[in-house]
Amino acid sequence: MEMKIVEIEGSEIWESFLSEVEEKTFLNSYHWGIFNEKIGHRVWYFGVSKNNSLLALFLVVGIKAKRGSFLFLPHGPMISESFKDQKKRILSVILEKLKEIGKKEKFDFIRICPLWKDEEETKSLFKRLSFRDAPLHLHPEITWELETKKSNEELLRGMRKTTRYLVKQALKTEGLEAIESEKIEDLKLFYDLYLKTAKRQKFTPFSYDYLENEFLSFLPQKEISVILVKYKGDILAGGVFVFWQKIGFYHHGASLPSKIPAVYLLIWEAIQKAKERGCEKFNFWGITLKKNHPWAGLSFFKQGFGGRVKTYIKTKDFVLSKKYWFNFIVEKIRKIKRRL
């Protein structure tokens, strides 16, 4: 029997399949799809099936933007460990389905950013299927991940010397406290700090509606929280953290310039909360390995907590119409302006 595309209804089958997949992020979760629906995108939940066995899953988000409309697979597709050797055929079947939707719904291109190793074999596979490198990536292609199945003493030993010192200083600083919350009111407090951080560091912030919808999409399962670090009542640092399928994710962060090591307490507390929830890994989200990149300082900070780099294949585009090239030019210019 040939491989075929099937629609997946409900979160149970989806999340159960992903629990057996090793390489994954919360962007693959069923509730990331719900979040995208909340912010106005069309969403499809698909699987690849053969002989009544589910080989792969892929979340498809239809994004209608002024610069161009596209079908997006955030960190997908996700292939069962048992069928990784059929990657080429699975991707071909997925591409045909996406082309069908693209033609019917008038999308200009397909964008895909799978969590597949950046290897020549994988690059050749995409090239043979007529994909090209995207001018920009929407989600991390390089991340930093820490194994959390360790004692606190082991975690401290694995840190950079200065990071370890500042974590210990933060834990000893009188009046410095980290507070975890699932309240919308505290998300608003975080957002105020986030806007100040965006202005200081000159990056484009997400809207409050974006953060609130993300928060509300993961909150019913208690898979998200905000942590605020206060010094004598003043908020100096904060973050939004996702805890999904035994992995903690540092998704959004903000801070004020201060000699108080608040940001070190923020991450230490988030790691502790991840451990309490049974997480085996803590993902620091995107980093850069370039020294002259706008994210270089933040990346250096994240790497100080110990862990390892994970590099995935670059985001790929498949052109469906000539309108793609307008988007290509817009994103190229945006990349240059942001010095990415």
Any idea where the domains of the chain sit in the sequence? 4-139+313-337, 142-311
| Backbone angle region of 232, left / alpha / beta, with phi > 0 → left and psi within -120 to 50 → alpha | left
Q: What is the pLDDT of residue 336?
A: 75
Q: How far apart are CA 100 and CA 149, in angstroms?
A: 44
* Helix, strand or coil, per DSSP, at residue 18: helix
Q: Are 264 and 308 in contact (CB under 8 A)?
A: no
**Other Cβ atoms closer than 10 A to 103:** 11
pLDDT score of 339 = 64
Residue 260: count other Cβ atoms within 10 Å of its Cβ: 19
Provide the pLDDT for residue 131: 98
Collapsed DSSP state (helix, strand, coil) of residue 11: helix
Helix 87-105 with 120-128: angle, nearest 10 deg: 40
Indicate the class that CATH gives domain 142-311: alpha beta
Output the tens digit of pLDDT for each of the chain's 340 residues. Answer: 799 999 999 999 999 999 999 999 999 999 999 999 999 999 999 999 999 899 999 999 999 988 899 999 999 999 999 999 999 999 999 999 999 999 999 999 999 999 999 999 999 999 999 999 999 888 999 999 999 999 999 999 999 999 999 999 999 999 999 999 999 999 999 999 999 999 999 899 999 999 999 999 999 999 999 999 999 999 999 999 999 999 999 999 999 999 999 999 999 999 999 999 999 999 999 999 988 888 899 999 999 999 999 999 999 999 999 999 999 898 888 877 776 6
Q: State how far the Cα of 32 lies from the Cα of 38, in Å rounded to an integer.
A: 10
Q: How many residues does the chain have?
A: 340
DSSP 66-109: TTEEEEEETT--EE-GGGGGGHHHHHHHHHHHHHHHHHHHT-SE
pLDDT, residue 340, reads 64
C-alpha to C-alpha distance for 213 and 219, rounded to whole angstroms: 10
Q: Which positions ≥6 away from 110 have C-beta within 8 Å?
A: 70, 71, 72, 73, 95, 98, 99, 102, 317, 318, 320
Query: Any idea of the CA torsion for 284, 285, 289, 293, to the nearest 10 degrees?
Result: -110
Could you tell me if 236 and 230 are in contact, meaning their C-beta atoms sit under 8 angstroms apart? yes
| pTM confidence score | 0.95
Do 4-139+313-337 and 142-311 come out as alike in CATH topology? yes
Please tell me the predicted confidence (pLDDT) of residue 53.
94
CATH tag, 4-139+313-337 = 3.40.630.30
Q: Which pLDDT does position 83 carry in this prediction?
A: 93
Alpha helices in the chain (DSSP H): 11-18, 30-38, 87-105, 120-128, 152-157, 161-172, 184-201, 208-218, 262-276, 296-303, 324-337
Q: Burial letters for 218-242: b for 16+ Cβ neighbours within 10 Å, e otherwise?
A: bbeeebbbbbbbbbeeebbbbbbbb
